[in-house]
Amino acid sequence: MGVSSSVSLQRVGCCLLAFFLFQCLCVSLTFLYLNQELKQIQKAYSQSSVACLMGDGLVSGPGDALEVLDSVNAPRREDACWQFKTQIQKLTEQILSNRYEQDMSMAVKGEISRFLDYPTLTHTDVRPSSPKVAAHVTGDYKGEFEPTGGRTVRELHGQKIKTWESQRGLAFLYSVEYEAGELIIPRTGLYYIYGQTYFRYREAESDDDSQSGDSYRTSRNKQMVQYIYKKINYPVPILLMKNARTTCWAKDSEYGLYSIYQGGVFELKYRDRIFVTVSNASLIDMDGESSYFGAFLIS
């Protein structure tokens, strides 16, 4: 009786041990299986993410993301991959925009924006100014004038001022060329053109008190006219502006001083030329602060 009970207990113990070992084996196999499956899922997800980024490619620059979003259909917008791509793109745009704002001055922005639209400025940014297009040339005492007679006189009123100071003193040239008294326009647009000429009358030694009446008045009554012309491919230059002044100098004065100024807005084309002529070059005083000519781009 006692021996039978002992054998039964041994059998029960063996069964429990076998069951426990079986459970451990099942748990181990399950763990290994799940671990393998998790690795495969991670690998598949990683490959999917890379494929998501590489499949259609990121857009080329800021601002393009919205255009691409508008071009896709509604189901694709709801796709997780597409949403992930757009979020990455927007984050990249924001980082680049912030870096761009911090590191680059407005002057450098202006130069780069002439060639690139990237990075795009936000609506709060001030658009960089365009490169300067302006010129101011001043009188030169060594100046030359178009001689009277010949074909030029038939085409123009007055004598052309052929020499201005374009480099020294108050004179400057920004993107504008200067040649033989003419300013050469580098870009089509609206320009403000201006000019002033300084007239100085000196009485000649032969003008003495013997002159009287009409002869005296004629010698001192001078009409001074300033013209500003535009020259294009058309053979005859086009008159843009003119201004005139008639003066009568006092008999006892050593000299008389007058100036004529005019200015206006005109549309000029690429490579147009503008220049100044005067009715009587012998009366011109080519002082740099008094006789000058220039133009600058408005829009």
Check whether 57 has a pLDDT greater than 50: no
- The domain ranges of the chain are 7-97, 134-204+216-297
What is the C-alpha separation between 155 and 235, in angstroms, rounded? 9
Residue 14, marked binder: no
Tell me if 88 sits within 8 A of 58, measured CB to CB.
yes
Token code pair at residue 78: 């709801």
Tell me if 244 sits within 8 A of 153, measured CB to CB.
no
Give mean pLDDT, residues 53-72.
49
Where residue 287 falls among pLDDT bands split at 50, 70, 90? confident
Between 281 and 101, the more confident residue is: 281
Q: Write out the DSSP string of the chain.
A: -HHHHHHHHHHHHHHHHHHHHHHHHHHHHHHHHHHHHHHHHHHHHHHHHHHHHHHS---SSTTHHHHHHHHS-HHHHH-HHHHHHHHHHHHHHHHHHHHHHHH--HHHHHHHHTT---SPPPTTSPPPPPPP-EEEEE--TT--BPPSSSHHHHHSSSEEB---B-SSTT-EEES-EEETTEEEP-S-EEEEEEEEEEEEEE--TT--TT--HHHHHHHHEEEEEEEEEEE-SSSS-EEEEEEEEEEE--TT-SEEEEEEEEEEEEEE-TT-EEEEEES-GGGB---TTTSEEEEEE--
Between 287 and 194, the more confident residue is: 194
Per-residue pLDDT tens for 114-170?
444 444 444 445 554 567 899 999 998 776 676 655 444 557 888 999 999 999 999
Give mean pLDDT, residues 268-293.
91
Count CB atoms within 10 A of the CB of residue 4.
7
Give mean pLDDT, residues 96-118.
53
| Closest among 227, 228, 232 to 272, alpha carbons compared | 232
Token pair 């069964």 is found at: 15
Between 52 and 59, the more confident residue is: 52
Phi, psi of 44 (to 5 degrees): -65, -40
Where residue 250 falls among pLDDT bands split at 50, 70, 90? low
Radius of gyration of the chain (CA): 44
Q: Residue 248 has what pLDDT?
A: 66
Percent of the chain residues topping a pLDDT of 70? 60
Per-residue pLDDT tens for 166-185?
999 999 999 999 999 999 99
What is the C-alpha separation between 29 and 136, in angstroms, rounded? 90
- How high is the mean pLDDT of the chain? 74
Per-residue pLDDT tens for 198-248?
887 765 555 445 445 444 444 456 778 999 999 998 888 999 999 998 776
Q: Residue 133 has what pLDDT?
A: 95
Where residue 278 falls among pLDDT bands split at 50, 70, 90? very high
Q: How far apart are the first and last CA of the chain?
A: 120
Where residue 78 falls among pLDDT bands split at 50, 70, 90? low
Check whether 283 has a pLDDT greater than 70: yes
Q: Residue 68 has what pLDDT?
A: 46
| Amino acid residing at 289 | E
Contacts of 172 (CB under 8 A, 6+ apart): 134, 135, 136
CATH number of 134-204+216-297, picked from 2.40.128.20, 3.40.640.10, 2.60.120.40, 2.40.50.140: 2.60.120.40
Q: Residue 58 has what pLDDT?
A: 47
Check whether 295 has a pLDDT greater than 60: yes
